[in-house]
Structure 1
Amino acid sequence: MGHFILSSSPIIGHLAPLLPVGTELVRRGHRVQVLTGSRFAEQVAAAGLEHVVMPAECDFDASDLDAAFPERTTKKGLAKLRFDIDNLFSNPMPHQYRALQSLLAKSRVDAVLVDSAFCGVLPLALQPKSERPAVFTAGVVPMYVSSRDTPPIGLGLQPIPNVFGRIRNAVLEMLVRKVIFAPCHRVFADRLREASGAELPGYFMDGTTLTDGILQLTCPSFEFPRSDLRPGLVSFVGPVLPPPPATFEPPAWWADLDSGKPVVLVTQGTIDNSDHSRLLLPTLHALADADVITVATTGGKQLTGDVPANARVAEFIPYAYLLPKVDVMVSNGGYGGLHYALSHGVPLIVGGDSEGKQDAAALVAWSGTGINLRTGSPKPKAIRKAVDKVLGTASYRTRAQDLRRELAGLSAVDTIADRMEASMRAQLAS
């Protein structure tokens, strides 16, 4: 029997893809511990896994970041982005690493799997491979790996596939590293030094490249190509999507979705949904006089404001039941939600500008599966124009269907479980 640790930031969208992997490893006869936030004890237990509570110093509530970090309400734009990088990723590192060390000290561990934001694994990854278990990153957000072929991470830009594009990338990369995110790099390096005494060997946003492998939860067609990737570093394994609930009680208006009119779904995801005036309400108003049915899912929050006659509202509807009826999804760019839509061949419109969603929006536009609104607070006019274009242009649905078939050929849970078992066998053989 092997012993594996899954570690996740206290963010449900980051934890959720790891749980089915843990369940599969348990099914294969292994022990699995999950180091994550205290709020997720029930979900971890329901997956048949051992829950280990994150240290209080880094156990924040990601569903209400402003309440978790009151100072965040005073920040806007770049200052807010820097604040989030420091407080959600860098500052938790020493506390996360301490918790991980405690687990490693108690018994032999064969491999560790973390989400992309769990920086506490980096001090472990920097140790000699002979002195530690294998360490893997589950890519639950767009791939954060610098390349001469891509613009810097965090700007929401697409590659330009020629020499001028590489020149642009190099200039922007220097600006980002030396000016825009230089303070964040210093904080990250300080936290790494505080955690383990180690020096940061490269750019802080390339931290995942220090692990033994990035298991990216997508397909190659939904990620920018990088000709300078380290061989064997990245494996595209496909998304981990939650199974449909055993029972589903449809809302009273469910039959309206079969009226023959196009169905437009709008959602602000599970984190950035406290202010529905950013995307959800503008979409409802933009489509109020359109010959469509608009479905708004509020992420468990109460919707306040006028609801047009052609709109239908619910706090939550399982995507497995809803997406087969949807013609286009308007989203703030959550990575999991985008892949759920693409797994059903649904084209996308994305308005996101926080937590890496601007980079997800760029991937949507680059892949041809939808439109990037280039803001997290789009105007109704821009939303209406984008919806009309997606519904009226066959190529968006064609590309979404292409990716649906590509994603269907991948099996993330089995692939990741196989990889972790293989690392266990290699370690035992050495």
Structure 2
Amino acid sequence: MGDAREISRPNGTHALSSTEKPVLLFMTFNASGHTAGAAQIAKHLHFNRGYKDVYFITGPQFQSLIESTGAKYIKNPFEPITPKAHDGAPESAEFLAAMKTVFADAIVPSYHVLKKALEDIRAAHPEPRKIIFVHEALSQGLLPYNYGCPLPKGYTSLPKSLNWHTSIWVGSDPDYPPFGPGLPYDPTPENKALWKSIHAGSRAMWQDVIDYYDAKLQEIGATKKFDDSVLDVAMNVGDVTVMATTPSLDYPSATKNPKKFRLVGGLPVRELDGNLAYPAWWGELTSNSALPISDPARKKVVFVTQGTVHRAYHELLVPTIRAMAGREDVLVIATLGERNEPSPLPEEDTPGNVRIVDYFPYEAVLPHADVFVSNAGYGGFMHGVMNGVPMVLAGKIADKGEVCLRAARAGVAVVYPKSEVTQEEIRTGIETVLTEDKYRKRVKEIQEENIKADSLGQIEAIIEELVRAD
């Protein structure tokens, strides 16, 4: 257990006493990348910092995870329908479809479950006990209240809220490349004019999604029309928006309003579950890692994942396996991102230097890896950073192309900002990272920067700030 004694803060205040600590209510969208980080925060605050009354709303597949944090689990029954990766639609069309069937469709059930949770928590913890709401930016919990939907019984206003954003900056800003096209950050006058034009023109592309959001809000009693940028709203709901990154990993514009937007650094590497079941080949990996770097018998370890959502293995995972096939000096570890997922390659077609596991925590493999190959999901990217492992990233859909550009700008990865890559491209990327030490040195520097940022300490300080704001 951690130490929950009172500590001094940089602004001269002190940590809240046990009697001053608020009730914490977390709410996340029902998906691993949106829930895992918030669960880590809840666990730290409960077990290490003395926050005894913690509640957590999310999907039923995360109930055991949430209960392990010490929080009281509250079920959100909404099950998102995720479009299949590359179902024939262009990536932009697939992304916009997901904004409706994944996120907009979450609005109504999320509103109802949050409203009841707030009423029940207030009944269990009467005023003057304060409640702080930790809202994951795409969970849709706060959205209805911004558009006039009825407040929970017993409330004249919502509790103060920390808006937890699990990706890069996605808001619109004239000094910033627009989200989506994958334009590099190069703020020349000509590029700024282009960015402004794209920002203005994107309204038509988003209009169907905006109208769909509005219809969902009207269904639950909104008094104000939803006619805003969906991504701007996600970034701006709540009192303070927190991102798990540092300035080195995003563009300068992301820090323009430091009171509203806080870059707190990546969450620390999670401890492994003591009951984790290891694959049969695990000893081979750890024995290899125990060899000195200079030992010619020590193999380079390439860890590859297609992520947990867009698992189109032909795009990245299979090309990586085939690119490294026959390399006696390389061991490839591939994780499929879903429990009980069958291998995309028949056993007889799987190279002898490849080990495949259906689902396994990144933090278990990364300490043994020399290169991390990923489809540039933000959670996986930050796992690479926090473990100090240089990367090869390839992805385009959703935020993945934008993550690629930030990783390249930071100097921690060779990137291919597209969904499908060739064996030759992956082979070249891996060889570049293995032979050019600048990638390893740079990711170690940024790892240290993020560790020193003390994300969990900063998040607690923001919660204390919100408690004192009234």
TM-score by length of 2: 0.81
Map of 2:305 onto structure 1: 267
| Structure-2 change in CA distance of 1:202 and 1:316 (3 Å) | closer
Contact 1:37–1:60 at 8 Å: present in 2 too?
no
2:209 equivalent among 174, 179, 184: 184
What are the ranges of 5 or more consecutive residues in structure 1 without an aligned counterpart?
A: none
Q: Deviations over 1:51-75 (max 9, x none)?
A: 1111x4x33376xx549xxxx9564
Contact 2:247–2:255 at 8 Å: present in 1 too?
no
Map of 1:110 onto structure 2: 131
Does 1:148 find its partner at 2:188? no
| Structure-2 change in CA distance of 1:61 and 1:347 (3 Å) | same
Q: Deviations over 1:179-233 (max 9, x none)?
A: x323223323333344422233642210121321111011111111117833411
Q: Deviations over 1:285-344 (max 9, x none)?
A: 012244422221222322131222332323344434422221211101122221111112
Q: CA deviation at 1:117?
A: 1.4
Map of 1:171 onto structure 2: 197
Map of 2:354 onto structure 1: 311
Contact 1:24–1:414 at 8 Å: present in 2 too?
no
Contact 2:243–2:265 at 8 Å: present in 1 too?
yes
Task: Supply the distance in 2 between the matched residues of 1:126 and 1:359 (Cα, whole angstroms).
Answer: 30
Task: Supply the distance in 2 between the matched residues of 1:111 and 1:363 (Cα, whole angstroms).
Answer: 32
1:373 equivalent among 393, 416, 421: 416
Map of 2:93 onto structure 1: 79
Match runs of 1:222-241 below 5 Å: 222-226=249-253, 229-240=256-267, 241=269
Task: Supply the distance in 2 between the matched residues of 1:82 and 1:317 (Cα, whole angstroms).
Answer: 30
Q: Deviations over 1:241-287 (max 9, x none)?
A: 422233664624223454333221111122223x4222111101012
| Structure-2 change in CA distance of 1:303 and 1:374 (3 Å) | same
| Structure-2 change in CA distance of 1:321 and 1:120 (3 Å) | closer
| Structure-2 change in CA distance of 1:110 and 1:126 (3 Å) | farther
Does 1:243 find its partner at 2:271? yes
Q: Deviations over 1:362-404 (max 9, x none)?
A: 2212222112212222111111121122223222222211211
198-207 vs 128-137, which moves further: 128-137
Map of 1:408 onto structure 2: 451
Task: Supply the distance in 2 between the matched residues of 1:104 and 1:325 (Cα, whole angstroms).
Answer: 44
Partner secondary structure for residue 190 of structure 1: helix
Partner secondary structure for residue 91 of structure 1: helix
Contact 2:147–2:217 at 8 Å: present in 1 too?
no
Task: Supply the distance in 2 between the matched residues of 1:29 and 1:77 (Cα, whole angstroms).
Answer: 43
Task: Supply the distance in 2 between the matched residues of 1:360 and 1:424 (Cα, whole angstroms).
Answer: 34
Percentage identity across aligned positions? 23
Does 1:424 find its partner at 2:455? no
Does 1:59 find its partner at 2:79? yes
Map of 1:92 onto structure 2: 106
373-382 vs 98-107, which moves further: 98-107
352-361 vs 7-16, which moves further: 352-361
Contact 1:149–1:225 at 8 Å: present in 2 too?
no
Map of 1:206 onto structure 2: 232
Going by fraction, where is helix more abundant, 1 or 2?
1
Map of 1:296 onto structure 2: 334
Contact 1:113–1:135 at 8 Å: present in 2 too?
yes
Task: Supply the distance in 2 between the matched residues of 1:236 and 1:334 (Cα, whole angstroms).
Answer: 18
Does 1:37 find its partner at 2:67? no
Partner secondary structure for residue 333 of structure 2: strand
Aligned length: 417
Which structure has the bigger radius of gyration? 2
Map of 1:324 onto structure 2: 367
129-138 vs 332-341, which moves further: 129-138
Q: CA RMSD in A?
A: 2.6
Partner secondary structure for residue 272 of structure 1: coil
Task: Supply the distance in 1 between the matched residues of 2:121 and 2:67 (Cα, whole angstroms).
Answer: 21
Does 1:159 find its partner at 2:185? yes
Partner secondary structure for residue 277 of structure 1: coil
Contact 1:265–1:328 at 8 Å: present in 2 too?
yes
Map of 1:2 onto structure 2: 22
